[in-house]
Amino acid sequence: MNASALVPKLVLFDRAWALVYFYSCERYAAVQDLTRTGNEKHDLEAASDVPLEEYIAPTEEEAGTLRRVAGSIPSITYLICFVEVAERASYYGAKGVFNNYMQFPLPAGGNGAGAVTKTNPNGHAGALNQGLQFASAMGLLFTFLSYTVPIFGAWLADAKIGRFKAIVCGVIIGGISHVIMIGGAAPSLLKAGKGLAPFMVSFILLAIGAGTFKPNVSPILLDQYQHQKPYTKTLTSGERVIVDPETTIQSICLYFYAFINVGAFFAIACVYTEKYVGFWAAFLLPGIVYFLLPILLVFMNKRLIKQPPSGSDLPQFFKIIGTAIRHNKYRLWGKNYWEVAKPSSLAAKGITVSWTDKDVTDVYRALVACQIFLYMPIWYMNDGGIGAVGSNQGAAMTTNGAPNDLLAKLNPITILIATPVLGHGLYPLLRRYNIKFGRISRITTGFLLAAISGVIGAVLQYRVYKTSPCGYAASTCDDVSPISIWWQLPNVSLGAISEVFVNVTGYELAYARAPPRMKSIVVALFLFNTALSVALSEILVPAIVDPHLIWVWAGPAIALFAQTAIFWWRHHDLNDDEFLVHDDEVEVAAVDTARQVSLVVDAEKKA
């Protein structure tokens, strides 16, 4: 294989995917006008700019009968998505080669940079020779840090410096990390056995940089969509529709997640580079892409709608929770649980507080979202397997020259295919027939798909054991099973499709149900569930050895099937819950409640 020719083609292919997605999003309305007929042709006419006086709220009857369509998506959101492409390309590109870099030794007869010899197409790249358990543990640690640091990054943005400046800080830290990572993979250091220390420094810095960057991107993206209330509009076809913020935010999040995976697709170029050129080049590619970020951020700086830091609502958040617990006599749940923490209720007891009824409603809604997020760690464990178990399974199969960790890198391709199918096909079709496929239904569907993918992984691992020359010691065997590595594709594909249902909906919920000054923090809590999944996975690291790998796949799948049934039973009613609650809506209710409380207090005084 001609590696020097292959790598530029893969990089060019990744850039082509980004351009395809940009133009498909930016010009979507024009394309659809050529291909759609009837109602479908006019769906996106509601995306045109509407004069402020024409934002007419739907009546109760219209809300129950009119079709819902997406509103306009500001052009600046696509540039934010390109920022995400560059950052995720560097993150996943580097992360994608970590397992082999840590697990395997330098290949015998190789070039000293970790690449295999041309005479061994079934071999795999390696460098540090730390073994499967070390690679799994460190890979999980990297993910844990990347999804724990966002809590700090979110607080920094919401309370101190703002989201844009927090993103800039994350980019600077990540840039330093890439420089150290590239230098630390020099062949002279690897041959001398001195590659581990610089790698660990860059490893930690990359996690900190990504963690500071990540929780602030989706909130700043959705902040660009300004009119977040439903309104009615008459299309040129004569049909009257509701321009729906939930549908619009869902569309933005779908595009955003697609762009994330354009970046993740870059990992394919990196795994071929590690195998046929070496790790210094595999780390250099994501580093080059990463340094597009400063250019993009400078260009966007004066074009963004930026929410200034105004102090986090986090202290008040906990005060409201504490008040609710105390006034409910330390019960943790119950009917009308949060009513006792509202100022309109506390006023009847002569208690004055600094928050509003809207703040209490926001806390309740955010906590419900966090409850939903707590179901996600077990789902994450089924999406691609635990730690390095997927690439380890691939290394025990016939690859015919493909890298052993290639199939996991096809996850983004599946997502790039599934996203437009859902966003431009299934979801509009369901809306046209007024079939509600709510947020809980979407998450439940994703959970089921991931559980099935875990079962497939277990069955495939069983077949690898049965056909490997070394039987149940397949992971350390020099020979491989005759089963093709491409049999991993169903497992990878189902896990990827599940992400489009679960993660996209998670971003929607994190933004829509967060208090105004806690948007980044609630997104960080959503991301933190990946860290919780990693913590659970760390517990299982001792089991990631032969002959127990079947249960490493099957155990989480069984747990997810059981959890999915509980999740649907407890939360299916949230399909119909209000997506966004606005200040004026709550203020009207608060005035009514306060008036009633005042009447009661006056009556008691007269008595």
Task: Give alpha helix (H) positions in 572-582.
Answer: none
Q: Is the pLDDT of residue 563 over 50?
A: yes
Question: What pLDDT does 340 receive?
Answer: 86
pLDDT over threshold 60, residue 591: no
**Any idea which of 26-35, 50-59, 533-542, 543-552 has the lowest mean pLDDT?**
26-35
Distances (CA, A) of 109 to 75, 98, 359: 52, 21, 65
pLDDT confidence of 275, banded at 50, 70, 90?
confident
Highest mean pLDDT among 1-5, 356-360, 515-519, 542-546: 356-360
- Find, among 307, 271, 295, the residue nearest to 95 by Cα: 271
Question: What are the E-state strand segments in 184-315?
Answer: 231-234, 240-243
Q: What is the β-pairing status of strands 397-398 and 481-484?
A: parallel
Question: Between these two residues, 17 and 226, which has the higher pLDDT value?
Answer: 226
What does the block give as tokens for 118?
């041309």
330: buried, middle or exposed (CB in 10 Å: 19+, 13-18, 0-12)?
Answer: exposed
| Backbone dihedral angles phi then psi of residue 331, each to the nearest 5 degrees | -75, 150
For residue 222, pLDDT over 70 is answered with: yes
- Give the whole-number percent of the chain exceeding pLDDT 90: 25
Greatest mean pLDDT range, 23-27, 199-203, 340-344: 199-203
The SS3 assignment for 232 reads strand
Conformation bin of residue 156: beta by default, left when phi > 0, alpha when psi is -120 to 50: alpha
Q: Read off the pLDDT band of 493 (50, 70, 90).
A: very high
User: How does pLDDT run across 408-420, given as a tens digit for each residue?
Assistant: 778 888 999 999 9
The answer on pLDDT for 102 being more than 60 is: yes
Tell the residue number behind the tokens 């509202």, with chain if given: 342
Entry pTM: 0.76
CA distance 220 to 525: 16
Mean pLDDT on 539-551: 82
Helix (H, G, I), strand (E, B) or coil at 554: helix
At 9-46, the pLDDT tens digits run 444 444 444 444 444 444 433 333 333 334 434 443 34
Q: What is the mean pLDDT of residues 122-139?
A: 84
Query: Rounded to an integer, what distance in angstroms lies between the CA atom of residue 458 and that of residue 222?
Result: 39
Over 60: is that where the pLDDT of 455 sits?
yes
* DSSP 8-class letter at 234: E
Burial of 560 (0-12, 13-18, 19+ CB in 10 A): buried
Residue 56 carries which DSSP code?
A: B
Residue 123: the pLDDT is 79
201 has a pLDDT exceeding 90: yes
| Angle (nearest 5°) at CA 79 between 40 and 497 | 55
Q: Is the peptide bond before 219 cis (omega within 30 degrees of 0)?
A: no
What's the pLDDT score for residue 581?
A: 63
Are 216 and 42 a contacting pair, CB within 8 Å? Answer: no
In this structure, the dihedral spanned by the alpha carbons of residues 136, 138, 143 and 144, taken in order and rounded to 10 degrees, is: 110
Phi-psi domain of 238 (left: phi exceeds 0; alpha: psi -120 through 50; beta: other): left
Res 583: pLDDT: 53
| C-beta separation of 102 from 130 below 8 A | yes
Among 19-33, 178-192, 446-460, 578-592, which stretch is predicted with the lowest mean pLDDT?
A: 19-33
Residue 245: which of 53, 51, 57 has the closest Cα?
57
Distance between CA atoms of 222 and 506, rounded to whole angstroms?
14
The confidence score (pLDDT) of residue 42 equals 41
- The tally of CA atoms less than 13 A away on the side-chain side of residue 535 is 10
Give 228-269 pLDDT, tens digit per residue.
788 888 888 888 888 888 888 888 999 899 988 888 778 888
Per the model's pLDDT, the better-predicted residue between 36 and 362 turns out to be 362
C-alpha neighbours within 13 Å on the C-beta side of residue 460 = 27
How far does CA 264 lie from the centroid of its chain?
12
Q: If DSSP states are collapsed to H, E and C, what string results for 90-133?
A: HHHHHHCCHHHHHHCECCCCCCCCCCCCCCCCCCCCCEECCCHH
Q: According to the model, what pLDDT value does residue 205 have?
A: 95
Distances, alpha carbon 161 to alpha carbons 156, 168, 524, in Å = 6, 11, 16
Give the separation between CA 185 and CA 194, rounded to whole angstroms. 9
Mean pLDDT of 341-363: 85
pLDDT over 70 at 49, yes or no: no
What is residue 39's predicted lDDT score, i.e. its pLDDT? 41
User: pLDDT tens across 278-326, in order?
Assistant: 999 999 999 999 988 999 999 998 888 888 886 667 788 888 888 888 8
Mean pLDDT throughout 545-561? 90
pLDDT on residue 35: 36
Mean pLDDT of the chain: 81
Confidence of residue 51 (pLDDT cuts 50, 70, 90): low
Residue 600 C-alpha from the chain's centroid: 49
Residue 79's alpha-carbon distances to 84, 189, 343, 584, in angstroms, are: 9, 39, 42, 32
Residue 196: pLDDT above 70? yes
335-349 core/surface letters (b: 16 or more CB in 10 A; e: else): eeebbbbbbbbbbee
Structural domains for the chain:
3-302+359-585 (1.20.1250.20)
In this prediction, residue 586 has a pLDDT band, given cuts at 50, 70 and 90, of very low
Average pLDDT over residues 549-569: 93
The confidence score (pLDDT) of residue 594 equals 42
With cut-offs at 50, 70 and 90, classify the pLDDT of residue 133: confident
CB atoms < 10 A from the CB of 20, how many? Answer: 12
